[in-house]
Amino acid sequence: MMITFRLKRTIKLGLKSLWMHKLRSILTALGIIFGVSSVIAMLAIGEGASQKAQADIARLGSQNIIIKTIKPPQDQTASGAGTQMLDYGLTYEDAERLHYSIPNVQVIVPSRIISQEVWYRNKKVSTEIIGTVPWYPESTPVNVQTGRFISNIDNQYMQGICVIDEEVADRLFVLDYPLHQDIKIGSDYYRVVGVVSKHSAVASEEDKVSGTQSKNTQGGSNVGNIYIPLTTARVRFGEINVQFGGSTGASIEKVELQEIIIKVGSVDRVLPTREIVEAVLNRFHKKEDYQIIVPLELLRQAKALARIFNIVLGSIAAISLLVGGIGIMNIMLATVSERTREIGIRRALGAKKRDIIMQFLSETLLLTFSGGILGIILGSAIPFFVTYFGKQPTDITPSALILAFGISAVIGVTFGIYPAYRAANMDPIESLRHE
């Protein structure tokens, strides 16, 4: 009761004296406002970026092990003169072997990925053709918008059908409804039986995270994905890819499968299974013509990276808060010396050291608290604009708000206590004499 009364009076006194020096108070609080808002904004931007990266990786499937064909490095120089056929990469046999030798496997999805131009009437799009199996959606979620995905019958009878994604649909079918239209891929026609959402376009995300560029014969970047039955892909495109141009004249490559996705039963089986996969493949692949990508590992790396990112951003923001705090201390020291006489009067009229400490500390705390609140408002507005104009995902977590406010409180106390202590320890006789 008595304490709340004194507290109220002390706060009122503090507000009054801050109000007396409005400009000074605002300038002092600015340091905290910018410090707090930069902590919040930086953490929000960092959090948003890392969440996006993690979501991208998670879309690859945390229970998945992705094996990709890569061109073995030594073969690029081995072909001296003339035309030589390169035979490398994952094979149907590999898929079979993995299927029989790995326990606890839910699905194995072999895919053939070919870069091709696709035509519908006079519209052309260069895209990635994924020849895959009907159970592909079990490893990588596919959101069917209209129609259906590849069926067992399609695969069995090597049907000339395809499933396109939104992006391809948007480019090719400006006026027409895509379902049941025929599109030309390479030299053959395929009937569109389904349209799937864009985010199932995994190949491009994989390339991003694994760092390998998708091989595009046309030179331009590929747009979207088209799914066709694996058997169809095998018979219509074959396994031999002839490329003209370059110093060697022509290069011929034979690749059976570009990708095998293995989905294991649970997340903790992922890493042991990876070792088995490596052991199985090593026996038959003397060259390094494949690469194993474990999204779970990538996810862990991304999280570790995000942590470092947050620490760096957080430290920069913390330094600005520190600078703000020093600014506050500087002003409070000036205020204390300016008000030496007032301190002397108050001491003579019965103020204890504690009362003087409370008086100046409450002023500092009011400054940092109001600065902290304004900083939170500003700091929440910045990520909004970053998302709105910069198209960069941001996320303001409650913990960032608490952290920023907590830091401003800590700064208020840390940088307020010394000036207040100095005020309280002035000799009342000396301060009364002070002009």
Partner 1 sequence: MQRSQAPIDFSGNGHILNMQNLCKSYQLGTVEVKALRDINLTINQGDYVAIMGPSGSGKSTLLNMIGCLDRPTSGDYFLGGQDVSKLEDDDLSLIRGARIGFIFQSFNLISQLNIIENIQIPMFYQSISEHDSEQRARELAAMVGLGQRLKHKPSELSGGQQQRVAIARSLANDPLIILADEPTGNLDSESGADILRILDDLHSQTKTLITVTHDDNIAAHAERVIHLFDGKIEKEEYN
Q: Which residues bind partner 1 (CB under 8 A)?
A: 2, 5-6, 9, 16-17, 20, 341-342, 344-355, 428-429, 432
The residue (of 396 and 424) whose beta carbon lies closer to partner 1 is 424
The residue (of 20 and 175) whose beta carbon lies closer to partner 1 is 20
DSSP-derived 3-state class of residue 181 = coil
Smallest gap from residue 422 Cβ to partner 1 (A): 15
| Residue matched to tokens 């400490």 | 357
Smallest gap from residue 352 Cβ to partner 1 (A): 4
Closest CA to 103 of 295, 285, 259, 277: 277
How far is 267 from 274, CA to CA, in rounded Å? Answer: 12
Smallest gap from residue 412 Cβ to partner 1 (A): 22
Closest CA to 52 of 394, 295, 316, 373: 394
The residue (of 16 and 303) whose beta carbon lies closer to partner 1 is 16
The residue (of 112 and 346) whose beta carbon lies closer to partner 1 is 346
The contacts of residue 121 (CB under 8 Å, 6+ apart) are none
The contacts of residue 347 (CB under 8 Å, 6+ apart) are 356, 426, 428, 431
Closest CA to 400 of 41, 81, 75: 41
With beta carbons less than 8 A apart as the criterion, state whether 17 and 366 touch: no
Give the Cβ contact number of residue 348 at 10 Å.
12
Closest CA to 342 of 417, 426, 415: 426
Smallest gap from residue 427 Cβ to partner 1 (A): 9
Burial of 226 (C-beta count, 10 Å sphere; 0-12/13-18/19+): buried
> Residue 220 gets which letter from DSSP?
S
The residue (of 211 and 350) whose beta carbon lies closer to partner 1 is 350
The residue (of 292 and 345) whose beta carbon lies closer to partner 1 is 345
- Measured in whole angstroms, the distance separating CA 382 from the mean position of its chain's CA atoms is 19
Instruction: Say how many residues make up the chain.
Output: 435
Smallest gap from residue 345 Cβ to partner 1 (A): 5
The residue (of 72 and 428) whose beta carbon lies closer to partner 1 is 428
The token duo for 234 is 């095998």
Can you say whether the dihedral through the CA atoms of 266, 270, 271, 277 is positive or negative?
A: positive
The residue (of 7 and 308) whose beta carbon lies closer to partner 1 is 7
Q: At what angle do helices 22-59 and 202-210 cross, to 10 degrees?
A: 110
Smallest gap from residue 373 Cβ to partner 1 (A): 25
Smallest gap from residue 27 Cβ to partner 1 (A): 19
- DSSP for 299-326, written as a single string: HHHHHHHHHHHHHHHHHHHHHHHHHHHH
- What is the widest separation between alpha-carbon atoms in the chain? 105
| Residue matched to tokens 């009342």 | 428
The token duo for 407 is 């830091």
The residue (of 123 and 341) whose beta carbon lies closer to partner 1 is 341
The residue (of 18 and 299) whose beta carbon lies closer to partner 1 is 18
Smallest gap from residue 353 Cβ to partner 1 (A): 6
Smallest gap from residue 398 Cβ to partner 1 (A): 38
How far is 4 from 358, CA to CA, in rounded Å? Answer: 13
Smallest gap from residue 6 Cβ to partner 1 (A): 7
